[in-house]
Structures are given as structure tokens and as C-alpha cells.
Amino acid sequence: MIKFRNVGKRYPNGTVALKNVTLDIDQGEFVAIIGLSGAGKSTLIRLVNKMIEPTSGELVVNDTRVDEKLNGFPLRRFRRHIGMVFQSFNLVPRTTVLKNVLGAKIADKGFLASILGYYSKKDQLDALEALHKVGILDKAFIRADQLSGGQMQRVALARTLAQDPSIILADEPVASLDPVTADMIMTDFRRINEEYKITIIANMHHVDVALKFVRRVVGIRDGEIVFDGPSEAVTEDILKRIYNRELTEDDIMFKKVEVV
């Protein structure tokens, strides 16, 4: 479903973020991307929905080649079923939770309907169902700025689910949360992956969180994949290969990581 073939990414300033990445991710997988800041994690997932373009190699997502030719309406149609969840939530603070989730429907609306904020009954039911899936239906008519950080991330996840995605890309989704809340949010991600067979690719800052919740880990170092395998196969030696050093307290959320 997602195929990287010798994909490289060089930014205009000369920075090489990815080097000859070859990677397959199948429908329904939950994959964590780990590595140091600047290793290429965010670049990799942002290529999947063409937030940025590869500069070499071939990337195919859902049978669509992601390159400079993918633009306009075909690009909008391509992105409709790829959701994105950010560390910063990206909500409209003074708008209700329901309206934030309904924002997922804007891409399907005409210009006038988008400006006027018109949503059909089905749109509203879809948004309410998405809130139900993440357990915060009771917050639908509360303003987003009245929520806790964990609740905001659940709204962001509900907004993504309202797109009916086949893929969810998560860029450091729990890095700004406390350990208890992060545990709950990652439990939501895992349940959604298992129940709805949605492919999830998550950049993870904290190694222990990745190993606890995700079945497959991809380790990136200096733009290259240096490990790709099941989380239970990750050892201290593999982590040293990925990070080129011992883990620090900053790499671990729960202050203890269990590896073989």
C-alpha cells in the first residue's frame, strides 16, 4: 500500500534528509519511526501525503505515484483518505469541538459552502460518530480551548477519523503530553488501528512508548533506515545503532525501557 523505492530527499539549502530509503508498509500496519531529531523521521511521513516531494526514487501510496505531477484536484482527492495528527493539535481554540471535527469535511465542500460553514446532516453524524470512537462525544459542544491536552489530541484524532482515512500519519502525537495521558492516547491509536484496520505511521520521540504500543519499528539514522522489524526484536545494541549513543532520560517517557 505504501512503497518507497530508493527515495531520497534533499532540501533547497542542501540538507540531505533521506538517502535511498526502500520501505513497504501494508494496509492495517501500525509502524513507529524512531531516531534522533534531524534523522529524517518527519521528512519520511510528510512525503506520504505530499506535504513535501521526494527528490529521487519512487514513492507509491494507494497505487498513486507521489511526485511533481500529482497536483490540483487529483492531489486533493489523494489526500482525502490520509489523515494527519500533529503534536500541537492544530485546533481552532474558540470553536466547539464538533465544528473542529467538521473541519475534516471542508475539502469535500464547494467554495460557498466552506465559507458559510454549511454541513449536511450526514457530515454532522459522521463527526459525532468520530467523537464517539475516541470517547469524548460528551464534549461535542464545548469550546476546544476548555479541554485538557489529552482531550485536544483526541479531538484532533476524531477530526482525522471523520475523513474516513485509510492511513493516519502522526507526527510526535504524545510528545507534549504527560505520561498518563500519553498512555491513554496511544491506547486509542492502537485500538483504532486494530478495530478499523487503518494504517498508522507515527514518529515517536520516546522509545519506550513506541516499544509498548507498536508492533513494527523502523529506526532511522542520518536519513537511512538502520533497523526495520518487530518491536520485540529491538535490543540495546539495535538502539545504539539507531541513536549512535546510549539512551538518555529525554528519550524515555516512563523512565524505564525494557529491551532484550
Identify the band that residue 256 occupies on the pLDDT scale cut at 50, 70 and 90.
low
Q: Does pLDDT of 111 surpass 50? A: no
Spell out the CATH class of 1-81+165-260: alpha beta
3-state secondary structure of 147: coil
Residue 198 contacts residue 164 (beta carbons within 8 Å): no
Decide: pTM greater than 0.75. Answer: yes
Identify the band that residue 105 occupies on the pLDDT scale cut at 50, 70 and 90.
confident
Query: What's the rounded mean pLDDT across residues 41-53?
Result: 96
Domain boundaries, the chain: 1-81+165-260, 87-164
Q: Does pLDDT of 173 surpass 80? A: yes
Identify the band that residue 118 occupies on the pLDDT scale cut at 50, 70 and 90.
confident
Q: Does pLDDT of 117 surpass 70? A: no
The pLDDT assigned to 260 comes to 46
3-state secondary structure of 3: strand
The pLDDT assigned to 247 comes to 87
Residue 217 contacts residue 211 (beta carbons within 8 Å): yes
pLDDT tens digits for 219-228? 999 999 999 9
Share of the chain above pLDDT 90, in %: 82
The pLDDT assigned to 18 comes to 97
Question: Average pLDDT of the chain?
Answer: 91
Q: Is 83 left (phi over 0), alpha (psi -120 to 50) or beta?
A: beta
Residue 64 contacts residue 224 (beta carbons within 8 Å): no
Query: What's the rounded mean pLDDT across residues 12-31?
Result: 96
Q: Does pLDDT of 255 surpass 50? A: yes
Query: What's the rounded mean pLDDT across residues 146-169?
Result: 95
As a whole number of angstroms, the distance between CA 77 and CA 65 comes to 13
Share of the chain above pLDDT 70, in %: 93
Query: What's the rounded mean pLDDT across residues 94-122?
Result: 77
As a whole number of angstroms, the distance between CA 97 and CA 145 comes to 9
Residues forming beta bridges with residue 34, ordered by sequence position:
219
Count of beta carbons in the 10 Å neighbourhood of residue 111: 7
pLDDT tens digits for 127-155? 999 999 999 999 999 999 999 999 999 99
